[in-house]
Structure 1
Amino acid sequence: MFKKFFRDHPIHKKIVPLFDEFFFFNPMNYYFSWLMICVGVYLNLFLSQLNPQFLFSFNFGYLLLFLGLSMILSSFYIFNKIYDVNERDENFKHIETKYSFEKFELLIKILIFVGLLLLLFVSIINTIVGVLLIICFGICKKYFKNKLIYYFIESCLLFFSGWFYTKKIITSRFFSLYDIIFLLPYFLFYLSLYMSKINLDNYSNKNFKIKKFDWKVLCTIILVSVSFYLGFINNDPLISIISITSIGFNFYSFFRFYKKDMVRSLIYPLALFNIFLMTIFPYLFIFHFILFYISKYYHWHRFELHYPTFLVDSE
């Protein structure tokens, strides 16, 4: 009865339009961006021999850090929707009937300003990282068509945001060249996720050729394999278990190459990454749980879509 009410009652059709503005921020992308912030926190603690696991202590500064960076990143997502037709989704069709493009541009400026203001309360260094993130987005958008270049720089900046704040309040550990070998497997795995995302986005694009045994899919297998190897020799349990449990989905994409395999090679490794991070940062579960089910509620009653979901339709 309870399930039927949430699924079928017509009142929800009147409620979900109130969520249009929230999903205009593309909050589902936080499942990507929050990863590297958490990795920055985790690695600083791990390399300081603090053995991070189930960290229940709450720090208001971390909340401001995540909020500030999320606002800045959302301003980028909105910018892409405004100026790139390919980035527009069903949500945008509803939003553009409510607001003018001038208000969209004003919203972008407000998000950037508030995001930087929140980061200023965290630390000066984190504010500088936020500014660099904005500059990076502008330069990459203007001069580079390859999205992986931006994703790589973004992941670096997000990582150091988490690292520097953890250094400030907990460990006092500076980043050294020695630490790169521990950081590298996370970057490789993170890039493999974005490569899978790009491959999936281009799967139906007639101008973008991709096929069975394609080198673009092979690259993701190589990245995840190297990520596992480095994690193993570093005795880093987090990246080791994430990579070894994820690589099978990439093999399916390489050998069989159905669309469902491409979907699985993205959503399952991404989910595994987030799930294992939750064993270190339990509060992450609260935010992900709320975001996941609000999104399911919104997309079902607004567009009759089962999204997000771990179920992949067979072909």
Structure 2
Amino acid sequence: MSWLDKVRNSLPFVPKRETPDNLWHKCPNCGTMLFTKEYEENQSVCPKCEHHGRIGPDARFDAIFDSGIYVPLPSPAVKEDPLKFRDSKRYPDRLKAARTATGEQDALINASGRIEGLKAVVGVQHFAFMGGSMGMAVGAAFVAGVEAAIAEQAPYIIFTAAGGARMQEGILSLMQMPRTTVAIQKLHETGLPYIVVLTDPTTGGVTASYAMLGDIQIAEPGALIGFAGQRVIESTIREKLPPGFQRAEYLLDHGMLDRVVHRHHLRAELANLIGFLCPAGAA
């Protein structure tokens, strides 16, 4: 036995240190490695390039409502798998996997609370739940959110994030477009505001319906917003699209949005809007 083996064998055994897989987060925009804890404490905004990451309902409600205090609204029950749809997996299996991964019943969650002392009902689409796709459950949750806002005499604020309609529900998912439009009209008839905050990404049938019907249209910086994809548009019109096409800043410059607001300033911005649009009933 060599002297090296003797020294090595005489050393106490030190087990390999295990590093959690989620300790670091790599910014998809600038590539900076960030501590996940610090990144989440910064509302999932990169401190170097200000890229706004995608966040779910819990993080959104904590950031928007006063002291993170809110009351979740129950998700309406709808018929699941009405078309008995199956692609590479059965639709119920996809729903089960999404619910296990996110802890949510479906892609749209509502909650009521106060924003700088003013009443509000807020809906948040969860992109991690099957791409935030719009099906019957999302349509029912949207209507329920509007009805809760009317009952509380508060504005309804929706944070959109979706890849479009849910293909597993076919025409039934597309029927949610007029359904949500009618709900918005009922909100308007009571004199209550409907405020839309478009987050990354908001596309497809969601963009073609309730995402673009707000009294005020706000977007987060850099959010992808559009109906068809860029490659589809370019192949249809046979032209190259301009830089930044379908991004929030481009839409603001072309009159599609009222404001682009940093995530850290959203709560104050929404409070100001609620105060302007319904000063009598929001307190």
* Larger fraction in strand: 2
Normalising by structure 1, report the TM-score. Answer: 0.27
* Larger fraction in helix: 1
Larger radius of gyration: 2
